[in-house]
Amino acid sequence: MSRSFGVDLRGIIELLSQHLYSSPRVYIRELLQNATDAITARDGGPARIVLEPAEHTGDGTLRISDSGIGLTEDEVHTLVSTLGRTSKRDELGFARQGFLGQFGVGLLSCFLVAEEIHLVSRSAKGGPAVRWTAGASGTYEVVADDSARAEIGTTVTLVPRRDAEHWLQHDMVAALAREFGELLPAEVLVGTERIAQPRLPWLRPSDEPYDAYVERLAGYCERTFGFRPFDVLPLEIPAAGLTGAAFVMPDTAHPGSRQAHRVYLKRMLVGDSVEGLLPDWAYFVRCAVNSSALRPTASRESLYQDEALLGVRDELGTVLKDWLVRLGATEPDRASALLAKHQLGMKSVALVDDDLLRLVEHWLPFETTDGYVTLRQFRRRHNSILFTPDVDEFRQLAPVAQAQGLGLLNAGYAYDSELMRRVAEVDGAVATRRVVPSELLAAMDRPDPVVEDQLRMSLRLARTVLERHDCDAVPREFDPISLPALLITDANRERQRDNAEISEHSDPLWAELLGRLAEPESTASQQLVLNTRNPLVRRLSELTDRTLAELTVESLYVHALLQSRRPMRPKDTAALNRSFLDLLDRAVRR
Ligand X SMILES: Nc1ncnc2c1ncn2[C@@H]1O[C@H](COP(=O)(O)OP(=O)(O)OP(=O)(O)O)[C@@H](O)[C@H]1O
Return residues touching ligand X (CB under 6 A): 30, 33-35, 38, 66, 68-71, 79-80, 86-88, 101-107, 154
Contact (Cβ atoms closer than 8 angstroms) between residue 109 and residue 15: no
CA nearest 142: which of 309, 301, 5?
Answer: 5
Measured from the CB atom, the residue of 87 and 377 that comes closer to ligand X is 87
Question: What type of residue is 309?
Answer: L
Q: How far is the CB of 159 from ligand X (least distance, A)?
A: 17
Q: Smallest distance, Å, CB 28 to ligand X? A: 13
The whole-angstrom separation of Cα 237 and Cα 312 is: 8
DSSP state, 85? -
What are the two backbone dihedrals, phi and then psi, of residue 198, each rounded to the nearest 5 degrees? -70, -20
Closest distance of CB 142 from ligand X, Å = 13
Residue number with CB closer to ligand X (12 or 105):
105
Q: Give the integer Cα–Cα distance in Å for 347 and 354.
A: 11
Q: How far is the CB of 107 from ligand X (least distance, A)?
A: 4
- Smallest separation, CB 105 to ligand X (Å): 4
Which residues are annotated as part of the binding site for ATP?
Answer: 30, 34, 66, 154
Nearest to ligand X of 52, 390 (CB atom): 52
| Nearest CB to ligand X, comparing residues 32 and 350 | 32
Query: Which of 373, 385, 396 has the alpha carbon at shortest distance from 419?
Result: 385
Helix axes 332-341, 343-350, angle to 10 degrees: 100
What's the CA gap between 477 and 487, in Å, rounded? 14
Q: Whose Cβ is closer to ligand X: residue 120's or residue 436's?
A: 120
Phi first, then psi, for residue 466 (nearest 5°) are -80, -10
Looking at the Cβ atoms of 125 and 380, the one nearer to ligand X is 125
Q: Which of 231, 226, 263, 258 is nearest to 246 (CA)?
A: 231
CA dist 68 to 64, 130, 151, 153, Å? Answer: 12, 15, 10, 5
- For the bound state, the minimum distance from the C-beta of residue 322 to ligand X, rounded and expressed in Å, comes to 36
Q: What are phi and psi of 283, to 5 degrees?
A: -65, -10
Mention every residue, 6+ apart, whose C-beta is less than 8 A from residue 444: 400, 404, 476, 477, 478, 529
CB of 29 to ligand X, least distance (A): 9
> Where would I find the H helices in 92-202?
170-181
Q: Rank residues 100 and 245 by Cβ distance to ligand X and give the closer one.
A: 100
Please name the helix (run of DSSP H) or strand (run of DSSP E) that holds residue 460, with its range, or none. helix 456-467
Query: Which residue numbers belong to the known binding site?
Result: 30, 34, 66, 154
Residue of 105, 168, 110, 154 lying closest to 136 (CA atoms): 110
Complex with ligand X: residue 107 or 462, whichever CB lies closer: 107
Q: Whole-number minimum distance, CB 391 to ligand X, in Å?
A: 54
